[in-house]
Amino acid sequence: MSDYLSLAEKILRWSRIRGANDAEVYVENGEEFSVHVRNGSIESLKQSSFQGLGLRVFLGNKTGFSFTTDFSKPALESIIDSACAWAYLSDADENNVLPNAVLSQSDDLGLFDSHVQDVSPDTKIILAKSLEKKASERDSRITHTEGASFTNTTSFIHILNSKGSSGSYATTLSGMSVSPVAEWAGIRTNETWYSYDRFFDKLDSPDNIAAIAVERTVRLLGARKIQTTRADVILEPSCGVTFLSSFFSVINGDHVNRELSFLRDDIEKKIAPDFLTIIDDGSLRGKLGSRPFDGEGVLTSRQVVVENGILKKFLYDTKAALRAGTVSTGHAHRRYDSEITIGAHNLFVEKGNQTSEEIIQKTERGLLITKLMGFGFDPVSGVFSYGASGLWIDHGSPVYPVHEIVVASNMKDMLKNILSVGNDLEFRGPVACPTLKIADMTISGN
């Protein structure tokens, strides 16, 4: 890691020689492997190394960005010239500055699996083939699969800026997924299930992944259309993730600054029931969205966005925070080849005290949503509208599958109308949500 930071120091010096009053170097390097199998044969296989460097320069209050994957001296001098040229052409903004906080050290969050390098490519291929085979053979109604995959990535992140911030960290990510297809009585369904973790040994077994994938696929066989109605809706955790991901766009500080959020005037106002708390925490140990510092070198931390139904804060990078008259919450996201955007780390709804089974049993009439499709959220108006499929609930029990429906409401109403929060919170990605029950949504069918 020290070699990359030494390289970054040189680029900072060269940038200043070319007129930059401040600069920031962001470097990524690592290795990646992926295999996709279908019908027992390898469809694609990739193993590669990567490296890249992104440079931001500041000329007064103007900023420019450039990147490269070539670390030769001529290529590095070229991106400095390019970044400076873009800065000269850009408009000045008093908020174009580096963070004031100086990064010098950060916590080890348990993001790196030192043993994954011992897993051979043959073992990874066998795992993918085994996963597909187990899914194909688990139920006679599975006609084929769309394939199974195994991936793993090792990444090293380095950041250095002219204000003295310097930091590095390493991450690993391993994962498996499978997509079985079932057919019965002319109806075809397919679902995908997966397991991802920082540590290879913590992945679910192929047996378990296949079992869940197949169960989720076959339970929708025989799905019917229903008449348009209004009813309570239960979002399974995977669908709650879609809801929460949509919610993130209205707490994104840049969107708030640009008046692209219906919550822009609601800080310290009650937007949900007392039992709803929403948190983003990039400092959680071992989680998929964790990192010790963000894309600008600001330390990550626990940020309570909604506390007992009260909207407490928005999430910011440095520029958006200054524009709003506050401080960064450490939510600058980037890769070496992209400029900074605001993103979530580990965004989640704090778990409740009911099981998903209890929530269903207490639902006299409603819809358990198992899949949301398309993109249907407007952060300005709050309109939430997605294609969906799921299971109709009558007298506390799922009675038949439904499909070709659209569920719709306004997120402002959805937040206020949350009736129950499950205890089944599980971090399967950077956004996590337990089962949610929401009152009185429109379900459009026939």
Here the tokens at position 396 are 């506390």
Helices (H), 291-378: 318-324, 356-361
pLDDT given at position 406: 96
Rg of the chain on CA atoms, in Å: 24
Which letter does DSSP use for residue 268 in this model? T
Which letter does DSSP use for residue 298 in this model? P
Which letter does DSSP use for residue 374 in this model? S
- Average pLDDT of the chain is 96
Q: What domains lie within the chain, and their CATH numbers?
A: 2-218 (3.30.2290.10), 223-446 (no CATH)
Which letter does DSSP use for residue 117 in this model? G
Which letter does DSSP use for residue 220 in this model? T
> Model confidence over 68-113: pLDDT tens digits?
999 999 999 999 999 999 999 999 999 999 998 777 777 799 999 9
> Model confidence over 289-342: pLDDT tens digits?
999 999 999 999 999 999 999 999 999 999 999 999 999 999 999 999 999 999
pLDDT given at position 1: 53
Which segment of 183-197, 354-368, 418-432 scores lowest on mean pLDDT? 183-197
pLDDT given at position 2: 67
pLDDT given at position 201: 97
Which letter does DSSP use for residue 337 in this model? T
Whole-angstrom Cα distance, residue 58 to residue 445?
54
> Model confidence over 383-398: pLDDT tens digits?
999 999 999 999 999 9
Whole-angstrom Cα distance, residue 340 to residue 438?
35
> Model confidence over 14-68: pLDDT tens digits?
999 999 999 999 999 999 999 999 999 999 999 999 999 999 999 999 999 999 9
Whole-angstrom Cα distance, residue 355 to residue 217?
22
> Model confidence over 103-133: pLDDT tens digits?
777 779 999 999 999 999 999 999 999 999 9
pLDDT given at position 171: 98
Residues whose CB falls within 8 Å of the CB of residue 291, separated by 6 or more in sequence, listed in order = 109, 111, 157, 169, 171, 282, 300, 345
Asked if residues 444 and 233 have their Cβ atoms less than 8 Å apart, the reply is no
With tokens 């925490």, the residue in question is 281
pLDDT at 366 over 80: yes
Helix axes 2-17, 73-89, angle to 10 degrees: 50
Helix axes 121-137, 206-218, angle to 10 degrees: 30
- Strand 397-410 and strand 229-235: the pairing is unpaired
Dihedral of CA atoms 114, 117, 119, 125 in degrees, nearest 10, equals: 130
Asked if residues 41 and 323 have their Cβ atoms less than 8 Å apart, the reply is no
